[in-house]
């Protein structure tokens, strides 16, 4: 961890830099796999599952019997928690629905937007040491609310060819029935091109390691849309002298445990808080299970002490964090100054883990400074706003000459003529 | 032009295929130019302007005196037309503003979205034979309404180092003051990386040739966001037996004149209309200036006759056109069936050129079937929806155990602990 005491503004550019990971050497490898999947379909998917997930699969699709089994196997307490989180996520995303208004821009010229769901979407849920069932909820619930016709979910199976029951339970709760045992680059290729088993989709959502991210980037150049580019997860905690250092430390560590490449930064106007935080954090760290990983991540974490809260917020906006926690007395005032962030957690009782799991907001958020241009996944991500316009004869009579004038100046004859032939007839 | 009479559904996949243009061989060339721009800044930009736009530039930025000159030079009729179009575009995009509602997902847990403008955006307006001042309006007006802090516009100068007065007038009307004489790959590189003159932006908008599109794709992999992937422009006209064939032909041709690679298709349930259309189109074509170009484009245009309007709309949704004109008696019913399209023009008096210029809708739209996953540029394109959440102590007390349960099941200790340390204190 590096501590910066009152750094000069000229140093800020360096401070907000993310650890960079050059993944260009993955390009050829991933591109080759995608080509194989495109050509070989299910056969190649099964071969690659055997190679990377060490399992022999007969069917790629999860059967009804497997869903049934998962419902029996899942712990009742966990099922209740998933139900509760699911209700909150559903409430928040339902409130995001859009209804366009008809605008008469001038007499007889009426324009409007209509929000229409994407017909086919694909969701990727990574495997790894723990089953990320929360990601199932975050990706599938808004897809269902949007009304997407086909929702496909891919996730890697274990060596016995099984998908974790919590994943299947979460899929059931979210209303997703088409789940496929395909992981990594295979999953992205399968959903981008389609195979005998896996339907082709128009947009792919979800996190993943650098292979998955490269695959998403490559298919997004031509074949499908993706939710957003991604990088390692990160949190920025803003705290003042009154913040409880134990809360700050716990938020910091909950980010750091994500992986060796995730980043936590604390920005404060209180040198004293920074000191107390470091002490408490060391104590909390001792009690955690993922200590080694967490320590690795802490190596590139930062504590920055600045003179004023205005400076603090300026640096926050330069950094553009995925998660921003404002744990200060006047957090509502600071919230007004947020220009660049993915999701913001306000006050002492809003830890990042609330939004990661259960409060209702989405946890699929822009990392790596992308919050300057992207937002997180929300209901809009599953829809498109199609524009409509209807001109009456009178509308065209008054607007027509404007169109003709402009088309002529752009030397687009036929564009002008499309108006002229109509005006002649009126 | 190819005519398909009642094609079998098995042929539809072939019919909706776009002419493909492999631009992968451009990658190295464009990538090399971008690297030069990144390293050399203004010096390289000027060298490339001399090479590609044949002009020697002292300053890249358009001066106040040049703006003044443009205001004097522009034709009064054209200025009035631009003013009128600008008012309509402004009205329609202003009506798209969003205000998030606070949602109490469960007692003491409040979540909301806030729409915040992107700080810095870059607009690209291509040169070519005609000055595309309409694109200035379409890209700059919503940026201004959104409240983007810095709006940068790049456009290639002519051989005398001047920007067309209509472009500068449109920029003035839209409220854009930072205009740079930089075109093509240079413009995309300048806005993606910044140079001594041109500010770096976070998102780049605008059309362009295949070099520009490749440059946008390359910079979007790492450095900035872009509006959407792009391909040649296209229209799909749906007409029935009652449609005026002269209107249909004029809309068809106004798309075809865009360029040799643009595509127009007519889908109808009336064989008779299809015949009358072909005859009228041949007559209209004779009178156009851009005949050669238009004929080239017509080579890959298509007329498809189907049995029923339901089939017609099914094929429309498979094709997912950038522009869709519904010129039928029951056009409002058909409009309800549109699932995939960029912008839809309803009835006999709504030619595509209305939306291209002046009705108020945006003309920056998804081509190449991308309408299945993307929408056109709108006010949202210039903003991000940041989520906020605030839990009260009581809120965390009731939601906390849910978070703890889920974090534990995902084996994320520190996530759980961020709740536990707070609950202990309550």
CATH of the domain at A302: 3.40.50.1980
- Provide the CATH number for the domain around residue A403: 1.20.5.1300
Q: Name the domain boundary from A187, A216, A231.
A: A231
Question: What is the distance between the alpha carbons of residues B43 and B57, in angstroms, rounded to a whole number?
Answer: 10
What pTM did the predictor assign?
0.96
pLDDT digit string (tens) for A84-106? 999 999 999 999 999 889 999 99
Tell me which residue in A105, A346, A353 faces B359 most closely, judged by beta carbons: A105
**A106 contacts in B (CB within 8 Å)?**
84, 87-88
In a domain, B396, yes or no: yes
Q: Do B359 and A289 touch (CB under 8 A)?
A: no
Examine the domain organization and report whether A204 and A82 are in the same domain: yes
Chain A: residue nearest B357 by CA?
A403
Q: Do B387 and A344 touch (CB under 8 A)?
A: yes
Residues A394-416: what's their mean pLDDT?
Answer: 96
Q: Do A105 and B229 touch (CB under 8 A)?
A: no
Examine the domain organization and report whether A204 and A261 are in the same domain: no
In a domain, B376, yes or no: no
Question: In whole numbers, what is the pLDDT of chain A averaged over residues?
Answer: 95
Triad B60, B66, B71: Cα angle to 5°: 140
Triad A323, A324, A325: Cα angle to 5°: 120
Examine the domain organization and report whether B270 and B218 are in the same domain: no
User: Catalytic residue positions of B?
Assistant: 322-323
Mutate to test the interface with B, among A35, A136, A353 (most CBs of B within 10 A): A353
Q: Do A134 and B349 touch (CB under 8 A)?
A: no
Whether the per-residue pLDDT at A22 is higher than 80: the answer is no
In a domain, B173, yes or no: yes
pLDDT digit string (tens) for A73-85? 999 999 999 999 9
pLDDT band at B414 (very low <50, low <70, confident <90, very high): very high
H-state helical runs in A232-319: 245-256, 271-286, 291-299, 309-319
Tell me which residue in B113, B360, B372 faces A105 most closely, judged by beta carbons: B360
Question: In whole numbers, what is the pLDDT of chain B averaged over residues?
Answer: 95
Question: What is the distance between the alpha carbons of residues B338 and A114, in angstroms, rounded to a whole number?
Answer: 10
The distance of B112 to chain A (nearest Cα, Å) reads: 8
Examine the domain organization and report whether B172 and B66 are in the same domain: yes
Examine the domain organization and report whether B61 and B157 are in the same domain: yes
Whether the per-residue pLDDT at B204 is higher than 90: the answer is yes
Examine the domain organization and report whether A278 and A158 are in the same domain: no
Q: Give residue A39's pLDDT.
A: 97
Examine the domain organization and report whether A93 and A167 are in the same domain: yes
Q: Give residue B300's pLDDT.
A: 87
Q: Give residue B222's pLDDT.
A: 86
In a domain, A366, yes or no: no
Q: Do A418 and B387 touch (CB under 8 A)?
A: no
Whether the per-residue pLDDT at B129 is higher than 80: the answer is no
**B380 contacts in A (CB within 8 Å)?**
380, 385
In a domain, A284, yes or no: yes
Whether the per-residue pLDDT at B19 is higher than 80: the answer is no
Examine the domain organization and report whether B404 and B291 are in the same domain: no
Examine the domain organization and report whether B310 and B324 are in the same domain: yes
Can you read off the two tokens belonging to residue B197?
Answer: 């003159």
Q: Give residue A20's pLDDT.
A: 74
Q: Which one is predicted more confidently, A258 or B252?
A: B252
Examine the domain organization and report whether A8 and A78 are in the same domain: no
Chain A: residue nearest B128 by CA?
A410
Pair A146, A417: CB distance under 8 Å: no
Between the alpha carbon of residue B24 and those of residues A310, B27, B31, B39, B270, the distances in Å are: 47, 5, 11, 24, 41
Question: What is the distance between the alpha carbons of residues A195 and A37, in angstroms, rounded to a whole number?
Answer: 8
Q: Look up the domain containing A400 and give its range.
A: 392-425
Whether the per-residue pLDDT at A19 is higher than 80: the answer is no
Q: Name the domain boundary from B197, B231, B265.
A: B231
In a domain, A107, yes or no: no
Examine the domain organization and report whether B13 and B50 are in the same domain: no
User: Catalytic residue positions of A?
Assistant: 322-323
Q: Do A402 and B357 touch (CB under 8 A)?
A: yes
Whether the per-residue pLDDT at A217 is higher than 80: the answer is yes
The distance of A52 to chain B (nearest Cα, Å) reads: 22
Question: What is the distance between the alpha carbons of residues B395 and A48, in angstroms, rounded to a whole number?
Answer: 46
Whether the per-residue pLDDT at A147 is higher than 80: the answer is yes
Q: Do A416 and B217 touch (CB under 8 A)?
A: no
Domain count along chain A: 3
Mutate to test the interface with B, among A26, A193, A403, A416 (most CBs of B within 10 A): A403
pLDDT band at A288 (very low <50, low <70, confident <90, very high): confident
Q: Name the domain boundary from B210, B231, B252.
A: B231
Share of chain A above pLDDT 90, in %: 89
pLDDT band at B207 (very low <50, low <70, confident <90, very high): very high
Residues A144-167: what's their mean pLDDT?
Answer: 96
Mutate to test the interface with B, among A134, A415, A425 (most CBs of B within 10 A): A415
**B257 contacts in A (CB within 8 Å)?**
412-415
In a domain, A29, yes or no: yes
- HEC assignment per residue over A52-113: HCCCCCCCCECCHHHHHHHHHHCCHHHHHHHHHHHHHHHHHHHCCCCCCCCEEEECCEEEEE
In a domain, A306, yes or no: yes
Examine the domain organization and report whether B319 and B415 are in the same domain: no
């Amino acid at each position: 961890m590096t501590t910066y005491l009152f750094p000069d503004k000229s140093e800020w550019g360096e401070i907000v830099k993310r650890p960079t990971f050059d993944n260009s050497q993955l390009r050829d490898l991933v591109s080759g796999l995608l080509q194989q999947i495109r050509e070989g379909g299910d056969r190649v998917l099964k071969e690659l599952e055997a190679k990377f997930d060490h399992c022999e699969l007969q069917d790629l699709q999860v059967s009804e019997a497997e869903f049934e089994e998962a419902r029996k196997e899942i712990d009742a307490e966990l099922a209740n928690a998933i139900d509760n989180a699911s209700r909150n996520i559903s409430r928040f995303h339902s409130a995001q629905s859009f209804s366009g208004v008809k605008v008469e821009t001038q007499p007889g010229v009426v324009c409007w937007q209509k929000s229409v769901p994407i017909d086919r979407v694909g969701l990727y849920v990574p495997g790894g040491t723990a089953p990320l069932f929360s990601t199932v909820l975050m990706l599938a619930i808004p897809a269902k609310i949007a009304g997407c016709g086909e929702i496909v979910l891919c996730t890697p199976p274990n060596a016995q060819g099984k998908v974790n029951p919590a994943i299947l339970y979460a899929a059931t709760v979210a209303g997703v029935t088409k789940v496929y045992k395909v992981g990594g680059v295979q999953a992205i290729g399968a959903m981008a091109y389609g195979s005998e088993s896996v339907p082709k989709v128009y947009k792919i959502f979800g996190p993943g390691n650098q292979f998955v991210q490269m695959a998403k980037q490559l298919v997004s150049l031509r074949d499908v849309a993706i939710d957003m580019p991604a990088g390692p997860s990160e949190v920025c905690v803003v705290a003042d002298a009154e913040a409880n250092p134990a809360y700050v430390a716990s938020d910091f560590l909950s980010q750091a445990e994500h992986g060796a490449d995730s980043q936590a930064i604390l920005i404060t106007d209180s040198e004293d808080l920074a000191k107390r935080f470091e002490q408490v954090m060391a104590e909390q760290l001792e009690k955690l299970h993922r200590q080694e990983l967490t320590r690795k991540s802490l190596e590139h974490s930062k504590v920055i002490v600045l003179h004023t809260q205005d400076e603090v917020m300026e640096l926050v906006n330069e950094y553009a964090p995925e998660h921003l926690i404002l744990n200060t007395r006047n957090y509502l005032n600071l919230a007004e100054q947020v220009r660049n962030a993915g999701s913001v957690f306000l006050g002492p009782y809003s830890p990042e883990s609330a939004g990661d799991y259960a409060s209702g907001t989405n946890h699929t958020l822009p990392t790596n400074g992308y919050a300057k241009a992207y937002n997180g996944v929300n209901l809009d991500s599953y829809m498109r706003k199609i524009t409509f316009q209807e001109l009456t004869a009178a509308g065209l009579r008054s607007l027509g000459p404007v169109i003709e004038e402009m088309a002529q100046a752009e030397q687009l004859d036929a564009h002008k003529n499309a108006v002229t032939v109509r005006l002649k007839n009126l």
